Amino acid sequence: MFHNCENEHFDHGHNHNHDHSPVIETNPHQSLYRYIDTNKIRCLNLIPSDTSDTQPIYKFFLKTQDEDEQNDITRYIQSDTDCQSIIHIPFISNCKVFSILLKTNGDSPSEELSSIKTIHLIKNYDKNIDFDTITNFISEKQRNRNIMHTIEHLQFQDDDPERANELIEYHLPLKIFQNNCHSLTIFIENNWSQDEDDLNRIYYLEIRGEFINNLSRINDSISLKTINYEKNANPLDHEKLESSNNFINLGQ
């Protein structure tokens, strides 16, 4: 069931930017999946659930909206040596980003897994993508507040049946992410156990927003014909869309 936690989310401090701008309700048709420049995705300190699989790592978490894929928790990415990780997702052109949807693990001490806690989202991060550089960037919160947003991810237990198949949607501040966003960098800083050796998993990540057709940013390997085809795509040619009633909606 769709559950709008906008006020609850804000009151409990899950949104650290305190942006009071109105939330834009989203739907599956606003997925930016096909506008991601997959050749330039970078994942640091992350490994796929099946290391023998030769598919690109992004295919383990940037899945289609087919219900079976969306609910598949056998394929995922997992932090490697500790709980921190970075995902850099560039778009083929500028976009407006409204929200991100996440399906992640809960606390499972027997597997040395802990729920993700602090997630930093950075717009158009063009610096060196490494942990030292991004940690220094995050520490300058006041200076970088106009291009950065921090959320506190919900904590739950892996054996909680009511949370097992839910997507959690986090709405992003309009003043930051609705103006010429050409990349989104996600920095997972810590976990709820406060033990950096506990790992975490992402089963599904979706970005919703609006594509802005600015050809100057499109990768040379992507033709205008392809872009036009996608903009006018026949829905029958694509995977079936998810139901909009099976995730928690966390507003600003």
Give the CATH number for residue 82: 2.60.120.470
Confidence band of 238 (pLDDT split at 50, 70, 90): very low
What pLDDT digit, counting tens, does each position of 193-206 carry? 999 999 999 999 99
What span, in angstroms and rounded, lies between the C-alpha atoms of 149 and 175? Answer: 11
* Helices and strands per DSSP (H, E), number in the chain: 6, 11
pLDDT at 91 over 70: yes
Stronger pLDDT, 17 or 118, i.e. the higher one? 118
Give the pLDDT mean for 120-138.
95
Confidence (pLDDT) at 141: 82
Say which DSSP state 15 is in. B
The answer to which of 67-76, 182-191, 243-252 has the lowest mean pLDDT is 243-252
What span, in angstroms and rounded, lies between the C-alpha atoms of 204 and 59? Answer: 10
Confidence band of 214 (pLDDT split at 50, 70, 90): low
Give the pLDDT mean for 128-147.
92
Confidence band of 251 (pLDDT split at 50, 70, 90): low
What span, in angstroms and rounded, lies between the C-alpha atoms of 252 and 247? Answer: 16
119 in helix, strand or coil?
strand
Percent of the chain with pLDDT over 70: 74
Question: How many structural domains compose the chain?
Answer: 1
On average, the pLDDT of the chain sits at 82
pLDDT at 222 over 60: no
Stronger pLDDT, 224 or 210, i.e. the higher one? 210
Confidence (pLDDT) at 24: 78
pLDDT at 224 over 70: no
Confidence band of 43 (pLDDT split at 50, 70, 90): very high
The answer to which of 7-11, 55-59, 189-193 has the lowest mean pLDDT is 7-11
Sorted by sequence, the CB contacts under 8 Å of residue 229 that are 6+ apart come out as: none
Q: Which residue segment(s) compose the domain that 181 sits in?
A: 3-250
6 in helix, strand or coil?
helix
Sorted by sequence, the CB contacts under 8 Å of residue 154 that are 6+ apart come out as: 14, 115, 168, 248, 250
Give the pLDDT mean for 220-240.
47
Sorted by sequence, the CB contacts under 8 Å of residue 68 that are 6+ apart come out as: none
Stronger pLDDT, 233 or 206, i.e. the higher one? 206
Give the pLDDT mean for 7-33.
65
